Structure 1
Amino acid sequence: MMKGNLTYYFVLNPLIIFLVYALSPILFHKEKYINMKDALGILVVYYVLISGYYFMDVISKRMKKNGKDK
């Protein structure tokens, strides 16, 4: 079951991932910079995966609730 604050999963964690991925070339003086489309693609994949996990969690809770009612 997904426990914890959803703000962490949907706001803070993706923001940290994006900032680290986008700012690491600047901070470490790399010659090749990261394409922003790649960084946004990583965020989209993250949101799809975490939303799917959250959806499965909600469905399983409903199935357990319906099983107890019968």
Structure 2
Amino acid sequence: HLAKSLLAGLAGDVRVSGKTIVVIYYNTPNVERLREHYEHLPERLSAEHVDPHIPWLYGYKLDFRFR
């Protein structure tokens, strides 16, 4: 799976901002490729008319940042 092969084994942390869970990865290889697909995920999903809220995460949205 693409996400598993790109994101497994990376250093990072998890924060909550409002109703969004933000996963922050540090010193990520291929960072531009990941940013293109994962940063601002809730906005990207909404633009495609997909509800970004995840029911099994109590309705929180999930977003990613790469530093």
Q: TM-score range by the shorter chain?
A: under 0.3
| Structure of larger gyration radius | 1
**Structure with more of its chain in helix, by fraction:** 1
- The TM-score normalised by the length of structure 1 is 0.27
Specify which structure has the higher proportion of strand: 2
Q: What TM-score comes out, normalization by structure 2 length?
A: 0.28
